[in-house]
Amino acid sequence: MTKNLVDVKDLIDAGITKSRPLKEGILKSEWDKIVGDLSKKSFVLFLKDKKVFVGVENSIWIQQLNFQKKEIIKKINELFGEEYVKDLIFKIGRKNTEDYFLEDNEEIHEEEIDLDTVKLTEEEYIKIEKELEEIEDKEIKKRTKDILEKSYKRKKYLKLHGYRKCQCGIYYSSEEPKCAICINKEVLKLEETLMKAFKNKKLLNYLQAKEKFKNLTEKEYERIKIKKLSKIKKNIDIYIKSKNLDKALELSKLYLTIDLGNTDKDYIDKRAKEFLEIMCTSKKN
């Protein structure tokens, strides 16, 4: 068992960690013992599909956590007493983010929420008792009930104060139809799809792309297009420096095809040679 993870084994032996929310709550409370000083720069967001989603202050600390990823997963699974977690997903974010999470949220401090003012209904207490049915040990049952009651009250507080629940389970405060994490996932997926299309000389103008992605804005399309062109140009520079002009010419053709939205071979071939010549001349100067 991982060092210093006191009392957690009792919870696991009691069988209550069959519940994902309770696993998640335990993981949040023990995170500092699992990752040590890295807990100052990271925090558990949520647990889903055998993956732990972790908020990290910046990309530098993501690199540090990546170096220790296997060891962290090993410690987590030792904590749970089974091979439960398969991967860690790191997301840049801070603890004071506007998105708040369902279970035992460490981002909401006690001074910000007076849980005594939040009253649970009889139906909600029945749900809590149902989750506790399999626990026989009275002390563990009492501690677990306190965790669940706190969690239910926090969820209720967020609802009462205008927070919305995303399809992924996160509560968030903005007027967007989804939380920031889900929106970001959709943006990244769209970007990846368009990048592949550009590479294959498809969706070369906004109207074509709009037919496939109904909610795509022209501004977003241009942003992704410029990003792709920038990557291609950097690679052209690399090939010019290494004197691999055949590869540089091939990429110049792709660059112009995407930039001009033109697939006419003769025209692109002619322009690509001119484009490459200008690039080579600028490097000499």
Asked if the structure places residue 96 within a domain, the reply is: yes
H, E, C per residue of the chain: CCCCCCCHHHHHHCCHHHCHHHHHHHHHHHHHHHHHHHHHCEEEEEEECCEEEEEECCHHHHHHHHHCHHHHHHHHHHHHCCCCCCEEEEEECCCCCCEEECCCCCCCCCCCCCHHHCCCCHHHHHHHHHHCCCCCCHHHHHHHHHHHHHHHHHHHHHHHCCCEECCCCEEECCCCCCCHHHHHHHHHHHHHHHHHHHHCCCCCCHHHHHHHCCCCCHHHHHHHHHHHHHHHHHHHHHHHHCCCHHHHHHHHHHHHHHHHCCCCHHHHHHHHHHHHHHHHHHHHC
Residues 29 and 143 in one domain: yes
pTM higher than 0.85, yes or no?
no
Asked if the structure places residue 174 within a domain, the reply is: no
Asked if the structure places residue 210 within a domain, the reply is: yes
Q: 112, 129, 160 — which closes off a domain? A: 160
Domain count, the chain: 2
Residues 96 and 155 in one domain: yes
Residues 29 and 65 in one domain: yes
Residues 44 and 151 in one domain: yes
Residues 149 and 14 in one domain: yes
Asked if the structure places residue 1 within a domain, the reply is: no
Residues 227 and 258 in one domain: yes
Asked if the structure places residue 173 within a domain, the reply is: no
Asked if the structure places residue 175 within a domain, the reply is: no
pLDDT-derived band at 25, boundaries 50, 70, 90: confident
Asked if the structure places residue 72 within a domain, the reply is: yes
Residues 111 and 18 in one domain: yes
pLDDT at residue 241 in the model? 92
Residues 139 and 239 in one domain: no
- Tell me the pLDDT tens digit for each residue of 100-135: 443 333 344 444 567 788 899 999 999 888 888 877
- Tell me the pLDDT tens digit for each residue of 216-245: 999 999 999 999 999 999 999 999 999 999
191 has a pLDDT exceeding 50: yes
* % residues pLDDT > 70 (the chain): 85
Residues 137 and 88 in one domain: yes
Asked if the structure places residue 237 within a domain, the reply is: yes
- Tell me the pLDDT tens digit for each residue of 173-185: 888 888 877 787 7
Q: 128, 160, 192 — which closes off a domain? A: 160
Residues 193 and 152 in one domain: no
Residues 122 and 154 in one domain: yes
CATH assignment of the domain containing 16: 3.30.300.180
Domain, as residue range, for 237: 180-284
